[in-house]
Structure 1
């Protein structure tokens, strides 16, 4: 006999499973949730530490999303999130044209990225209704620090992408025709 928490977990998982094919709808709903959260923060004029923590978490998730599952160097993603998403495959990305092609596999898949970001945003939204989390800070410093952190982190990530020649997105990559066209030809 299942208990109430187990049953609620099953219902939650069922709805999560049903949402998998609706990529655009999921990200639009996440965008609306972010807009609602930002509107809450702007109109309430507080909870800047909660906002800062949320966006640092989102940045960390985004970096895990951009990073290959198997890091050729082995040290790029050594942070708090690497403990959560670590998986030792023992294989390296190809770095030369003569090496075998392996598709880009993310450290954090898109669906898990969406689930984690949505949960975190919901938690932050709920926290913004409790005065105990409204710690007074000079928010422009947090904004400048976040922008600086974002720029430095993305610079490091882009250098890593260039050095090991991988693209974490599928647009811009060559597409090939099927065998029905008398061979494989780039489109």
Structure 2
């Protein structure tokens, strides 16, 4: 019996070393070698300063910037430490009211009629609450507002959106999307 207990503790020690140290360190080394940008958080820099990550949405509210998805992450939204969806179901009154408020806000901000269709990603939070991307339709809906606020031609801003559309991964996974941070940084470079 003691022999079995000793062997069990040996196996526990060996598996702890392998799965707790060797494997994680190997994966970190492989990730840093093969995907160095992603392994370091896909950080985006401007003039040597980190301004965000391609992977984490940010709260852009000024009229001269494209707005991303609403966030339910954290107490004040867009809190990467509190990444989470709202967990409210489709019949929940609070969710229905929030979406209705977001639809009205999107229509008002973009000068749209009461009957104008609004893409769902402009009025609903993603599962993480920090989605960095919006659909091309959501970006095009905002072109007029952004162009007017920046004193640019709408066609010039729409062309910028065209150039920033990311297609499906491996032509199979996901949907076409636009990274809001990268699009807004490209807008700033237009000055």
Could you tell me the TM-score, scaled by structure 1's length?
Answer: 0.24
Larger Rg: 2
Structure having greater relative contact order (Cα 8 Å, sep ≥ 6): 1
Could you tell me the TM-score, scaled by structure 2's length?
Answer: 0.24
Higher fraction of helix:
1
Higher fraction of strand:
2
